[in-house]
């Protein structure tokens, strides 16, 4: 009889599985809820209409007739799939057009499109970094950034979220590491919706000879006059070396990109394993992203950016007025977090809101620090006031019943 441990043993009885089972049994699991209709501001989910405050469809373009038509045209022109790598048979005229227009939008020499945003980060960081290099990351950076870093085997020096003194310490220490230095931050942090202090970060990078990459997943299509993201809003576009973005948020599709200098982008095209050893995105996804990008870059774009940000302000103020503790930032983004602190209470509150017809996302440890559980709400440009009011009414009535049963929720400091 072999005496080796069963490699599958870890899937049984670990703490996370137990938590999941308990939450599932109590029907408190906020995950894997099934949509049965389009991803609009109000969705049909598990037999009921619910206000969607848990989507990254910030501009509400997933159902826009022009975007749908863009997807349809690409489907008609190229078929359902490209069945091969970008490097081989998977590059179409659509990719070439999209990469050119994305580079124009970002104001960079070139741009490379990946099949997903996750692959854009993994495929860039895993390629541009090598053992011997140092990469300095914010503790709030997206998981795909950390995955790319781990793949690269570069030395990682993380710093506490937005703590620039800690970032500077890491830069000082990195001087002794002997390799190249890359700093990677999110432009807008996905859970708490705060914007990175990019001016100061650029200054520090310049002082210590480090390159800078900014993940603009949540800022692109929303922030800045052209909607080119946090780097544009803060006036540092020409000081950021690489800007990553995704189609899975404002651009209403699926896919990712990295914009930067022609030489770096060309290097990625011939060396990035997450680009070469995977199939090209489906034509419909590219056609939709291109159509959405054209709307973003048209005179209609700034109207949509203004609308989604006004909605975020409306929701944030409404939640505060109803006694919820939101995290307020100087720069408003579509992400409005509501602090709950306790993981189990967050799940209970999620369920109560769900029953009251509102879908939000829940972030518990390890997505946020221990004791920092929050409901991540996010808005779209296409939420109208009546729909936001409906959601706020649900929050207010749920709060009263919830606190009577489970004790007080964190309150807004006034
Ligand atoms: N970066 C950030 C900051 C993200 O939030 C996400 C997705 N949530 C990604 C990258 C990955 O993008 P995609 O969903 O296109 O794979």
pLDDT in tens, 240-256: 999 999 999 999 999 99
pLDDT tens per residue, range 328-383 = 889 999 999 999 999 889 999 999 999 999 999 999 887 888 899 999 999 999 99
| Residue 13 predicted with pLDDT over 80 | no
Please say whether the beta carbons of 337 and 301 come within 8 A: no
Whole-model pTM? Answer: 0.96
The string over 247-284, giving b where at least 16 C-beta atoms fall within 10 Å of a residue's C-beta and e elsewhere, is bbbbbbbbbbbbbbeeebbeebbeebebbbebebbbbb
| Res. 275 pLDDT band, cuts 50 70 90 | very high
Predicted confidence band at 157 (pLDDT cuts at 50, 70, 90)? Answer: very high
pLDDT score recorded for residue 156: 98
Residue that is written with structure tokens 């509501």 in the block? 338
Expressed in angstroms and rounded, the spacing between residue 245 Cα and the centre of ligand 1 is 8
Pocket flag, ligand 1, residue 193 (CB < 6 Å): no
In short, whether 186's Cβ falls inside 6 Å of ligand 1 is yes
Ligand 1 atom closest to the Cα of residue 247 is 15
Rounded average pLDDT over 1-30: 82
pLDDT at residue 121, as a whole number: 98
Gap from CA of 21 to ligand 1 centroid (Å): 27
Which among 114, 248, 274, 285 is the best mutation to test ligand 1's pocket, defined by most ligand atoms within 8 Å of the CB? 248
pLDDT band at 293 (very low <50, low <70, confident <90, very high): very high
State whether the beta carbon of 248 lies less than 6 angstroms from ligand 1: yes
Q: Using most ligand atoms within 8 A of CB, pick from 217, 223, 244, 289 the residue to mutate for ligand 1.
A: 217
Residues recognised as catalytic: 190, 218, 249
- Alpha-carbon distance of 285 to 247, in angstroms, equals 9
In this structure, which residue's CA is closest to atom 12 in ligand 1? 117
**DSSP symbols for 95-151:** HHHHHHHHHHHHT-SEEEEESSHHHHHHHHHHHH--BTBEEEEETT--HHHHHHHHH
131-144 confidence digits (pLDDT tens): 999 999 999 999 99
Band of pLDDT at residue 276, cut at 50, 70 and 90: very high
**pLDDT value, residue 413:** 58
Confidence of residue 14 (pLDDT cuts 50, 70, 90): confident
Mean pLDDT taken over the chain: 95
Best residue among 55, 118, 288 to mutate for probing ligand 1, ranked by most atoms within 8 Å of CB: 118
pLDDT at 180 over 80: yes
**Could you give all domains of the chain from N- to C-terminal order, each with its CATH number?**
7-58+301-406 (3.90.1150.10), 65-296 (3.40.640.10)
* In the predicted structure, residue 158 carries a pLDDT above the cut 90: yes
Mean pLDDT of 63-90: 97
- Of the given ranges (2-6, 42-46, 62-66, 322-326), which has the lowest mean pLDDT? 2-6
Ligand 1 centroid to residue 244 C-alpha, Å:
10
- Please check the confidence at residue 414 and state whether its pLDDT lies above 60: no
**What is the rounded CA–CA span in Å between residue 30 and residue 23?**
9
Nearest CA to ligand 1 atom 13: 117
Q: Is residue 217 within 6 Å of ligand 1 at its C-beta?
A: yes
Q: Separation of 1 CA from ligand 1 center, angstroms? A: 46
Contact indicator for 379, 333 with CB cutoff of 8 Å: no
Quote the ipTM score. 0.99
The encoded tokens of residue 198 equal 């990019």
Residue 25 is predicted with a pLDDT of 86
Shortest-distance atom of ligand 1 to CA 248? 15
Q: Can you tell me which atom of ligand 1 is nearest the CA of 255?
A: 15
pLDDT tens by residue, 192-221: 999 999 999 999 999 999 999 999 999 999
Query: Tell me: the pLDDT tens digits for 19-71?
Result: 778 888 888 888 899 999 999 999 999 999 999 999 999 999 999 999 999 99
Specify the ligand 1 atom closest to the Cα of 256: 15
Distance 2 CA to ligand 1 centre (A): 43
> What residues contact residue 252 under an 8 Å CB cut-off, 6+ apart?
57, 59, 61, 62, 64, 67, 288, 289, 292
Instruction: Give the atom of ligand 1 at the shortest distance from the alpha carbon of 118.
Output: 16
């Amino acid at each position: 009889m072999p005496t080796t441990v069963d490699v599958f043993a870890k899937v049984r009885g670990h703490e996370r599985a137990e938590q999941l089972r308990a939450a599932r049994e109590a029907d408190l699991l906020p995950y894997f809820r099934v949509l049965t209709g389009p991803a609009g501001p109000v969705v049909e989910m598990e037999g009921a209409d619910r206000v969607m405050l848990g989507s990254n469809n910030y501009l509400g373009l997933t159902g826009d007739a022009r975007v749908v038509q863009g997807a349809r045209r690409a489907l008609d022109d190229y078929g359902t799939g490209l069945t091969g790598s970008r490097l081989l048979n998977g590059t179409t005229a659509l990719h070439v057009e999209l990469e050119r227009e994305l580079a124009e939008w970002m104001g960079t020499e070139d741009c490379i499109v990946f099949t997903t945003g996750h692959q854009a980060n993994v495929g860039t960081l895993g390629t541009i970094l090598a053992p011997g290099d140092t990469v300095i990351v914010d503790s709030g950076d997206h998981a795909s950034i950390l995955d790319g870093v781990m793949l690269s085997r570069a030395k990682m020096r993380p710093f506490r979220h937005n703590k620039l003194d800690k970032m500077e310490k890491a830069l000082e220490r990195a001087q002794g590491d002997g390799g190249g230095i890359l700093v990677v931050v999110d432009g807008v942090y996905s859970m708490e919706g705060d914007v990175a202090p990019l001016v100061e970060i650029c200054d520090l990078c310049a002082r210590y000879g480090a390159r800078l990459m900014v993940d603009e997943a949540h800022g692109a299509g929303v922030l800045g006059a052209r909607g080119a993201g946090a780097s544009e809003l803060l006036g540092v576009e020409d000081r950021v070396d690489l800007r990553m973005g995704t189609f899975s948020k404002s651009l209403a599709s699926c896919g990712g990109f990295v914009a930067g200098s022609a030489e770096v982008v060309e290097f990625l095209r011939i060396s990035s394993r997450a680009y070469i050893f995977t199939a090209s995105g489906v034509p419909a996804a590219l056609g939709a992203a291109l159509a959405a990008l054209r709307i973003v870059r048209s005179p209609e774009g700034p109207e949509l950016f203004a609308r989604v940000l006004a909605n975020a302000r409306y929701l944030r103020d409404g939640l505060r007025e109803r006694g919820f503790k939101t995290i307020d930032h100087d720069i408003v983004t579509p992400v409005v977090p509501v602090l709950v602190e306790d993981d189990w209470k967050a799940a209970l509150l999620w369920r109560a809101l769900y029953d009251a017809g509102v879908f939000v996302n829940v972030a518990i440890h390890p997505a946020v620090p221990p004791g920092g559980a929050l409901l991540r709400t996010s808005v779209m440009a296409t939420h109208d006031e009546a729909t936001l009011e409906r959601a706020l009414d649900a929050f207010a009535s749920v709060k009263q019943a919830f606190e009577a049963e489970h004790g007080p929720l964190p309150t807004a400091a006034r």
